[in-house]
Structure 1
Amino acid sequence: MKKVIFAVALSISLNVFAEQNTIDNITLAANNMQVENLTELAAHTSGYDQAFAHYKLGAAYLVQQNFAKLTQHLTLSADILNQQLKHNPKDVESMILLAQVLGLHSGFAPEKAKEFGPKTYELLNKAGQLAPKNPRLKLVHGIIKYHTPAAYGGNKQVAVAMFNQAINNYPDDVHSGYHWGYDEAYIWRGLAKVEQGDTKGALLDFNQAVEINPNSNWAKGLIAQNEQNISSL
């Protein structure tokens, strides 16, 4: 009986299942670069939610080019997710988020790529076996493919195909409890279109991102920037 009680308590303390309301609050704070709110959310959540808050804090500090804080929060996020996976090796959502955290860390610290690269692809491959239609899997895998040099397995055409798959799969994910990244899939596909010279197509994607997430300041900034580029032609 004591073992059963302990197992239940452990499950609760790890917060294996994300709460959508918390995920939404973290995303909203990140969209508005509200570092204080994100810090508060990271302090008062646990498990996946806490790891997600630290990941978003890391991304915010990347924008501010505060690499010490970036490293701190990505490390905290990775530690939490590794703990989640230690207790539940088939936790697909933790695999995907950890892959994103390690991929971001490798992006600004190339010396980490040799250590984190194989681990990232191992996580993505395992998650793909367990949940091949997970839209966050396609989004994160696409982002990593987009940024990885071709010599190391990167492929922007494959990345765009993955963003397309993510966009197709997100509508069925609304009630998953982990629903984040739908607008980002359109943003990343739009960025790929900009690179290909398809500014009008990119604007359609950026506007769709705002339709999904009216608080996406990233998408709004890209719309303003690319509308200006068109008007200057």
Structure 2
Amino acid sequence: MKKQILATVIGIFSLNSMSILADQATINDIEAAARALDTVSLQELSQSSDSYDSALANYRLAVSFNVKADSEAANAALDQAMETMEGLTAEEPENPEAWALLGHIYGTKIGFNPMKGMYYGPKAGKSIAKAKELAPENPRVNLVSGVSDYFTPTLFGGSKTTAIKSLSSAINQYADDSDSGYHWGLAEAYVWRGLAQMELGESNKALNDWRAAVAIQPNFYWASTLIEKHQ
């Protein structure tokens, strides 16, 4: 289980104020399998890991199954990830990484089941707000916040411009994150920023972001597919 020693600085917890005992190698294995949509490896990683790592593996497994149009398996994996992270946030309420991933999972649940937006939307919002309160300069917190802004209707405070701002902050913050033990999401941040750029009519900026994602992760299926579609 992830263990952290949290140092308080004027009541705000940030990634730089944490001493994190974590297994970055497992995170790297999860991300490599996810980029290749390798559901077999992701299932094995979800079972051989615990706590945060297991939840991340199940989250990536859910997304991979969804891409492969296996909605039943996707929802089952996502529900398992959700259960794990709800338990972890209850056990470690001052852990911003846990709140950020839980918010991401709730948001994905809405993507899988839009009719459940009224239920999971407030949960996602509260989880992300808690993560931002604890660690406003954490790259994954800003990644998840940016994705939330991308999908949230303007009427409810979302905006593609705000999404780009949060995602740009995340991309900049990843430079100091490589040894965090939770390092994932840099290429993903570029993809989401590119999607927001495309929505605003900035196709060249979008393509540049997707190419940056592929430069970071050459076998990134999602980014490569977007480039092929829009170039």
- Tell me the TM-score normalized by structure 2: 0.88
Q: CA deviation at 1:110?
A: 2.2
Match of 2:203 in 1: 199
- Aligned residue for 2:11? none
- For the 8 Å contact 2:149–2:158, the answer to whether it is kept is yes
- Note the residue ranges of structure 2 that are not aligned, 5 or more in a row: 4-20
Q: Which amino acid aligns with 1:82?
A: E
Choose the corresponding residue for 1:134, options 134, 138, 151. Answer: 138
Q: What is the aligned partner in structure 2 of residue 230 from structure 1?
A: none
Deviations 1:126-163 (A, max 9, x none): 11111110011111111111112222332111111111
Separation in 2, partners of 1:204, 1:114: 35
- Give the counterpart letter for 1:155 in structure 2: S
Query: Which letter maps to 1:31?
Result: R
Q: Secondary structure at the match of 1:36?
A: helix
Counterpart AA for 1:141:
S
Contact 1:18 1:49 in 2 (8 A): no
| Higher gyration radius (CA) | 1
Q: Does 1:78 align with 2:82?
A: yes
Percent of residue pairs identical = 38
Q: After the TM superposition, list the runs of 4 or more consecutive aligned residues in structure 1 that deviate by more than 6 angstroms.
A: none
The correspondence of residues 1-233 of structure 1 with structure 2, limited to 5 A, is 14-16=1-3, 17-227=21-231
Separation in structure 2 between the aligned mates of residue 173 and residue 208 of structure 1, nearest angstrom: 18
Higher relative contact order (CA 8 A, sep 6+): 2
More helix, by proportion: 1
If the length of structure 1 is used for normalisation, what is the TM-score? 0.87
Task: Using the TM superposition, name which of 27-36 and 105-114 deviates more.
Answer: 105-114
Alignment RMSD = 1.3
Unaligned runs of 5+ in 1: 1-13, 228-233
